[in-house]
Amino acid sequence: MLKLGYFLMIAAGVLLGGYVAYLVVRTVATAPGLGLFFKVVILVGAAGLFMTIVGLIIERRRDKDDYSDDGDD
C-alpha cells in the first residue's frame, strides 16, 4: 500500500512539473517582445536546468542504493 501511495505521489508530481514546463514554454514562445534568439536561449537554459535537476536526483538515488561503497576510494 505504501508503494502505491508513493507511486501516485511521484506521478502527480511529474504531471504537475510537466504542466508547469508546458506553461513556461508556451509563455516564452508566444511572448511578443522577445526575439527568436532570446526565446531559444531561455528555452535551452530551462532544458539544461531541468536535465541537471533530474541528473542530480538520479545520482542521489544511485549513491543511496550503493551500500557496498564504503567511501575509501
At 13-66, the pLDDT tens digits run 999 988 998 998 899 889 899 899 999 998 899 889 889 988 998 898 888 766
Residue 51 lies in a domain: yes
Residue 28 lies in a domain: yes
Q: pLDDT at residue 73 above 80? A: no
Total tally of structural domains belonging to the chain: 1
Task: Provide the pLDDT for residue 67.
Answer: 61
Q: How confident is the model at residue 72 (pLDDT cuts 50, 70, 90)?
A: low
Provide the domain limits for residue 10.
Answer: 2-65
Residue 73 lies in a domain: no
Task: Provide the pLDDT for residue 8.
Answer: 92
Residue 8 lies in a domain: yes
Residue 36 lies in a domain: yes
Residue 72 lies in a domain: no
Residue 41 lies in a domain: yes
pTM value is: 0.60
Question: 30-53 burial, b if ≥16 CB within 10 A, otherwise e?
Answer: eeeeeeeeeeeebeeeeeeeeeee
Residue 57 lies in a domain: yes
